[in-house]
Amino acid sequence: MRGFENMIFIRKVSTVLGAVALLAGGAAHAQSVTPVGGATPHAPSLTPEQVVTMQHDMDTALHYKLAPDVLPRLSATLRAIQAAKIQPPGHAGMSLDQQIALVGQVPGLEAILKAHGLDARSFVMSLTCVGLTGSLLNVPPGQGGAQMPVPDAANVAILKNNPQALQELVGVLRQSTDSSSTQVH
């Protein structure tokens, strides 16, 4: 039963990571934007190798040390990315290392990240850490199962002690997600 609960959680997290990949992915090959009619996000089917990679990536992201001011910097960074009209393509199923490499290839993105005190790695890791930690904070007590990952306590404190900044980031992410109901080719 624990394996089944773990797979359900991994599928939920894969959706979160997929959303992060959409937002942090990068537009290295972006040329034109084409709407995706009524597509709703769903967890992709994962190979056993992807499950192992995802478990490793979850653990890595959940224990990434967030900077105390990360929430407003991520919000400002995402707004600047939107203002620059950098539209990332969807790349679900990518590892954190693959996402970081892709972000590093996006024309114009390095300067935006640098202006906000980030690089490709810190941007992807921070977004992923905030997303996963926030998701885990929303799991009702007793419903996560024994295999539920435990986020870094300092990161939990950053999110809990900065509810306005977290809500602002969620709002910016929702704007990004709403505007990414289009897919870049």
pLDDT band at 36 (very low <50, low <70, confident <90, very high): very low
Q: Is the pLDDT of residue 143 over 50?
A: yes
Q: Provide the whole-model pTM.
A: 0.73
Identify which of 137, 113, 174, 115 has the alpha carbon closest to the alpha carbon of residue 62.
137
Q: Is the pLDDT of residue 145 over 80?
A: no
Distance CA 94, CA 102 (A): 10
Residue 39 falls within a domain, yes or no? no
Residue 95 falls within a domain, yes or no? yes
Full domain range(s) for residue 83: 2-25+46-184
Residue 61 in contact with residue 129, Cβ under 8 Å? Answer: yes
Distance CA 93, CA 91 (A): 6
pLDDT band at 113 (very low <50, low <70, confident <90, very high): very high
Distance CA 70, CA 91 (A): 24
Number of domain units in the chain: 1
Residue 40 falls within a domain, yes or no? no
Q: What is the mean pLDDT of the chain?
A: 77
| Phi and psi angles of residue 34, each rounded to the nearest 5 degrees, phi first | -125, 130
Identify which of 11, 16, 53, 5 has the alpha carbon closest to the alpha carbon of residue 134.
16
CB within 8 Å of 50: residues ≥ 6 apart:
93
Distance CA 135, CA 181 (A): 22
- For 57-101, the pLDDT digits (tens) are 999 999 999 999 999 999 999 999 999 998 765 567 788 999 999
Distance CA 40, CA 142 (A): 29
